Chain A
């Protein structure tokens, strides 16, 4: 199933770095997110745009993960040639990731 079925997300930006939260609708699903949505999985999903690494932070008290994507925004909002200069749409792209049904 797609991540979108069990989680929501929001993207933020600081310079050329994008941060994307991934939050379980039901906190009982948090362990599944933590198990399947690794930093490596996210880096592979965004390989087409990423020029740096991915860090993952765990916030179990919110049932959430936070991903920090380095050099992901074509130089950042002020200088990027991209149409979505903030990278705001990356959260929706993250929710496209397929995870197993368990």
Chain B
């Protein structure tokens, strides 16, 4: 039976680069996929593109491509990535220029566009899924609206001879499904097979998270060689069966347990996992350790694809201001609590307009608050870091929160040290649905 070898070169935008190089050089891959686009990333990228029309793609695009292109060219490995973010055409131009610099002429680079649906959702009757408001009510606060594209334009780009396919917002598993459907000539209406391929894509899409990354728990779950964790590849058969494995000698491990965690990662109802291509069903998924670091994954299925596409909306939601200060030694907790009370009172006295405030004692109750059992006990830690965070309408107001923590140096309890403060702009992410026919993906081919 014919097999395709497909690897995952990144699990998020800032991921390590060397494991992808290892895969490209030693994985004997047909395809190398880089999934680099989180929900929030595309809104940030849209802001970058507004400042400069030549920007808006993934900041690591050029270094990643420079690192893997020579090996991919030698092995004939096709690259698929969503590193185009808000500007796939500019990204494709940059990849062509990078290839040219490396002396790699004649590479065909496809840019997939059409996911930017800001005009359609603003003009239409779309409602925000989370709160039911019309999208139009967001007005100028709407920064970006990007529909999740499916595998179809990726299949088109591959059929047109692309060596590299660069998308913007596409569903993560669709990057993998596109390659498999093209190679095996699967119908894009073969729902059970698309469901199984989506399961494979979902297992691969976070890269190191299935090879033992984000898994180790000393005394319970052991993972060898995490500092040189290998990234995964799947050997996929024409019938959709898959073995998940990694390059021999790389760090990490692939076990039924690592695969189970990743199968259930970030999904809600396992029987109804929505993508643009299929409503996938993972509820009968099975994993089987066939050899060390080789796990067979079967049992994925699916039903007809949804009629509407999910759209991610990036929304300007003001600012968050934050300040931190540490107390240590005898009575550290009491002094930190006193400091928190002072800042709370000061913010009221000086009229800082914070819509929401949070006071954390890091090391005591900062992560889950006093509500979870372990946080409720009166602990006496050696050191405590007070963190104050608040939401404001302007950057100036946000800065005042950090300033009130900073003035504790000379005006607060004894022995406070190590103040840090920061202000960040908040880009909220909400969702809406758009009828499929209002989204028109396009493929544009460039050559290096």
Contact = CB atoms under 8 A, between A and B. Distances in A.
Contact of B317 (A21, A68, A79): A79
Given A61-B286, A61-B299, A83 B317 contact: no
A89 B369 CA distance: 12
A81 B430 CA distance: 17
Interface in A1-21: 4, 8-10, 12-17, 19, 21
Interface string A30-58: 00000000000000011111000001010
B260 A89 contact: no
A81 B261 contact: no
Contacts of B263: 62
Contacts of A93: 368, 372, 374
A46 to B, nearest CB: 7
Interface in B209-268: 214-215, 217, 220-221, 257, 260-268
A76 B285 CA distance: 29
Contacts of A90: 368
Contacts of B371: 46-49
A9 B265 CA distance: 10
Given A10-B214, A62-B285, 13 more contacts: A8-B257, A9-B261, A10-B262, A14-B266, A14-B268, A48-B369, A57-B268, A59-B285, A68-B269, A78-B427, A81-B390, A83-B366, A90-B368
B269 A49 contact: no
B295 to A, nearest CB: 12
B267 A66 contact: yes
Contact of A78 (B39, B299, B362): B39
A55 B272 CA distance: 14
Interface of B: 39-40, 130, 214-215, 217, 220-221, 257, 260-271, 282-287, 299, 317, 320, 356-358, 360, 362, 366-375, 387, 389-391, 426-431
Given A62-B263, A76-B429, A83-B367, A17 B268 contact: yes
A30 to B, nearest CB: 11
A81 B389 contact: yes
Contacts of A68: 268-269
Interface of A: 4, 8-10, 12-17, 19, 21, 23, 25, 45-49, 55, 57, 59, 61-64, 66, 68, 75-79, 81-84, 89-90, 93, 96
11 contacts: A15-B429, A21-B260, A23-B264, A46-B372, A57-B271, A59-B283, A66-B264, A66-B267, A78-B39, A89-B367, A96-B372
Contacts of B356: 81
A8 B130 contact: no
Q: Which of A48, A49, A57, A78 has the most CB of B within 10 A?
A: A78
Given A23-B261, A61-B286, A49 B429 contact: no
A83 to B, nearest CB: 5
A12 B267 contact: yes
B40 A45 contact: no
Given A12-B265, A66-B270, A84-B367, A78 B257 contact: no
A31 B390 CA distance: 44
B193 to A, nearest CB: 19
A75 B254 CA distance: 34
Nearest to B286: A61
Contact of B426 (A19, A47, A64, A79): A79
Contacts of A25: 257
A19 B366 contact: no
A59 B374 CA distance: 29
Q: Which of A4, A61, A62 has the most CB of B within 10 A?
A: A62
Contacts of A61: 283-286, 299
B447 to A, nearest CB: 38
Nearest to A45: B372
A57 B389 contact: no
B358 A82 contact: yes
A19 B266 contact: yes
A18 B268 CA distance: 9
Q: Which of A4, A17, A81 has the most CB of B within 10 A?
A: A81
A81 B392 CA distance: 11
Contacts of A10: 214-215, 261-262, 264-265
Nearest to B40: A78
A29 to B, nearest CB: 13
A48 B370 CA distance: 7
A13 B38 CA distance: 11
B267 A19 contact: yes
A57 to B, nearest CB: 6
Nearest to A27: B256
B260 A23 contact: yes
- For the complex of A and B, the 3 pairs showing the least CB-CB separation, nearest first, are A48-B371, A12-B266, A21-B264
